[in-house]
């Protein structure tokens, strides 16, 4: 059941009404039933696996809480069951049965059991509550990843109706629909043919396609997040933001602090810091501390932890050379930046010019190009296709080809993309400056607010068009 369908609209309207009409102590039961139905629509097999993983998490956490002396072994066993199931589903001959959202809710289960083992949260003794924790419908398919303690508090608090939150949530849903159905899907009509025939994509067209795809991926994934956050907000439940104006980042490290933020936070909490605390990393710190080399004492263990971190993120994306290449590239840029930090700091402190807004703008452009290049590993079907596109970018680069490309683009598609894209850029700039456009719209005079609603609805209705909707621009993990 996609967020962009009328089926979801009817489903959510029913859940919204029932949730806000019944007593607070039963609200979580409504969410549990609604989440079960939502995921059941994805298929019986997918639902059975989700229920099974919920039971593994439920039983694993209970055993960890009861047998504290063996909690480490029990946590490892429970996590291995989840990871082995994920690994099995990623094998080529069974990958077709990989249920939607498994990679997301599996990590959410691992976080829950880990926090129980660390005594960061209390164990849930009701299996239905664990099922809701795993399957909450706005976020089961693609996240965001939540802090277990905060997430559980939000889910089971029994929120009353709030007109302000309902209004903001509805606006957030409309904004997400605009990004997904108008910007992302319309760009898909332009860029998909290039990825289907990478050998025929040369020169400026490669750069043009990759720039558009970079925008498409952001509009698509963040649009989904807007709909998930908006749906949840209408129920009074706050879930994490997953994007914070990533394309205005000045470095790859900053980009990943702003892009898919919950994924970064999850791996930082459960992979990066634990690896940094391992004996090999501790031995490296001790070795270089004795040699009084503070630079390598801090940098080398960090590089080791980052290497493990980005390798696991690549495997989480999928058992595919493209995903590993993509995540290794991002990790390599961040690791290289760590090693070169003293050089950067020395250059930046040598003159006020390097701290100017002009240089910051150049850093934003540089980082956007790096991100765009990284997606040349992510989007193509094979690694060979990626290298073909990279090589073709330097062939046939002429102005006439660029003009011909612009001429061949469907003007109707271009018009429908450009207007909401300008809106997206303005909204992101406002957000970057600390002025959330959704909050600003909600506080605007009634006439202005309703004008915004009507404009968004009309643009979504017109922009969706008559074409068949292509597959998502991002991978459904």
User: What tens digit of pLDDT does each residue of 189-227 get?
Assistant: 888 988 999 988 888 888 889 999 999 999 999 999 999
429-456 mean pLDDT? 86
Tell me, yes or no, whether 368 and 401 share the same domain: no
Q: Are residues 135 and 262 in the same domain?
A: no
How far is the C-alpha of 335 from the C-alpha of 341, rounded, in Å?
10
> Contact 146/262 with Cβ under 8 angstroms?
yes
Same domain, residue pair 30 and 100? yes
Number of structural domains (the chain) is: 3
CA 329 to CA 377: how far, in whole Å?
9
What pLDDT does 334 receive? 96
Does position 12 have pLDDT exceeding 80, yes or no?
yes
User: Do residues 99 and 45 make contact, with C-beta atoms less than 8 angstroms apart?
Assistant: yes
19 in the same domain as 151:
yes
Q: Can you say how many angstroms the Cα of residue 213 is from the centroid of all Cα atoms in its chain?
A: 16
Spatial CA neighbour of 229 closest among 474, 463, 23, 3: 3
Q: How many helices (H) and strands (E) does the chain have?
A: 23, 0
Distance CA 241, CA 259 (A): 10
Give the mean model confidence (pLDDT) for residues 422-428: 92
The answer to whether the Cα torsion of 158, 161, 164, 167 is positive or negative is: positive
Say whether both 19 and 149 belong to one domain.
Answer: yes
- Claim to verify: residue 236 and residue 348 sit in the same structural domain: no
CA distances from 100 to 4, 39, 81, 86, 180 (A): 16, 9, 18, 12, 19
CB atoms within 10 A of CB 229: 25
Name the DSSP letter for residue 472. P
Over the stretch 218-251, which tens digit does the pLDDT of each residue have?
A: 999 999 999 999 999 999 999 999 999 999 999 9
Q: What is this structure's pTM?
A: 0.90
Q: Which residues contact 92 (CB under 8 A, 6 or more apart)?
A: none
Same domain, 139 and 20: yes
Task: Determine, yes or no, domain membership for 388.
Answer: no
Cα→Cα distances 45→36, 41, 49, Å: 13, 10, 6
Average pLDDT, the chain: 89
Whether residue 373 is found in the same domain as residue 413 = no
Average pLDDT over residues 2-21: 94
pLDDT on residue 470: 40
Q: What is 219-286 written as a DSSP string?
A: HHHHHHHHHHHHHHHHTT-------S-GGG-SSHHHHHHHSSHHHHHHHIIIIIHHHHTSHHHHHHHH
- Structural domain containing residue 213: 163-243+393-464
DSSP symbols for 21-79: HS-GGGHHHHHHHHHHHHHHTT-HHHHHHHHHHHHHHHHHHHHHHH-GGGHHHHHHHHH
| 319 and 359 within one domain | yes
Contact by Cβ (8 Å): 477, 316: yes
Q: Residues 30, 72: one domain?
A: yes
Where does a domain end: 378, 401, 433? 378
DSSP 200: G
Note whether 337 and 252 are within 8 A (CB): yes
Choose the final residue of a domain: 92, 126, 155.
155
Same domain, 133 and 49: yes
For residue 46, is pLDDT > 80? Answer: yes
Q: What is the pLDDT of residue 472?
A: 38
* pLDDT of 476 above 50: no
264-305 pLDDT per residue, tens = 999 999 999 999 999 999 999 999 999 899 999 999 999 999
Residue 471 in domain: no
475 is a domain residue:
no
Burial degree of 408 (CB within 10 A; 0-12, 13-18, 19+): exposed
Gap between the Cα atoms of 265 and 313, Å rounded: 12
User: Do residues 233 and 360 share a domain?
Assistant: no
User: What is d(CA 234, CA 248) in angstroms, rounded to the nearest whole number?
Assistant: 29
């Amino acid at each position: 059941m996609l967020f962009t369908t009328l089926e979801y609209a009817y489903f959510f309207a029913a859940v919204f009404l029932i949730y806000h009409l019944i007593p607070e102590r039963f609200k979580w039961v409504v969410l549990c039933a609604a989440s079960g139905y939502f995921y059941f629509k994805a298929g019986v097999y997918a639902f059975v696996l989700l229920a099974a993983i919920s039971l593994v998490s439920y039983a694993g956490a209970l055993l960890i809480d009861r047998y504290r002396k063996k909690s480490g072994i029990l946590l490892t066993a429970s996590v291995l069951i989840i990871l082995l199931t994920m690994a099995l589903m990623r094998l080529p001959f069974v990958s077709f049965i990989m249920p939607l959202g498994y990679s997301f809710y599996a990590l959410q289960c691992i976080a829950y059991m880990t926090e129980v083992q660390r005594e960061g949260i209390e164990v849930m003794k009701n299996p239905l509550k664990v099922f809701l924790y795993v399957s909450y419908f706005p976020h089961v398919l693609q996240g965001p990843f939540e802090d277990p303690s905060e997430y559980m508090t939000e889910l089971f608090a029994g929120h009353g109706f709030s007109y302000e939150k309902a209004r903001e949530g509805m606006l957030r849903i409309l904004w997400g629909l605009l990004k997904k159905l108008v910007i992302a899907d319309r760009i898909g009509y332009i860029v998909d043919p290039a990825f289907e025939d990478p050998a025929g994509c040369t020169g400026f067209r490669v750069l043009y396609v990759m720039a558009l795809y970079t925008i498409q991926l952001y509009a698509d994934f963040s649009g989904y997040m807007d709909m998930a956050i908006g749906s949840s907000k209408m129920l009074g439940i706050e879930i994490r933001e997953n994007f914070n104006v990533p394309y205005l980042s000045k470095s790859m490290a900053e980009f990943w602090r702003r892009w898919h933020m919950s994924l970064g936070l999850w791996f930082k909490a459960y992979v990066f810091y634990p690896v940094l605390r391992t004996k090999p990393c501790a031995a490296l710190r001790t070795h270089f501390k004795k040699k009084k080399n503070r630079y390598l004492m801090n940098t080398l263990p960090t590089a080791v932890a980052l290497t493990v971190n980005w390798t696991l993120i690549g495997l989480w994306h999928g058992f595919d050379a493209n995903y590993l290449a993509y995540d290794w590239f991002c990790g390599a840029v961040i690791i290289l930046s760590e090693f070169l930090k003293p050089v950067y700091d020395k250059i930046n402190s040598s003159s006020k010019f390097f701290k100017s807004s002009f240089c910051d703008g150049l850093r934003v452009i540089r980082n956007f190009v790096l991100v765009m290049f990284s997606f040349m590993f992510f989007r193509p079907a094979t690694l060979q296709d990626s290298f073909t596109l990279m090589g073709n970018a330097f062939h046939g680069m002429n102005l006439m080809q660029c003009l011909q490309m612009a001429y061949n683009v469907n003007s109707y598609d271009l018009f429908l993309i450009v207007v909401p894209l300008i809106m997206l850029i303005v909204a992101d700039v406002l957000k970057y400056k600390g002025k959330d456009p959704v909050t600003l719209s909600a506080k605007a005079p009634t006439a202005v607010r309703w004008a915004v609603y009507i404009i968004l609805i009309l643009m979504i209705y017109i922009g969706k068009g008559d074409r068949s909707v292509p597959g998502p621009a991002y991978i459904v993990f």
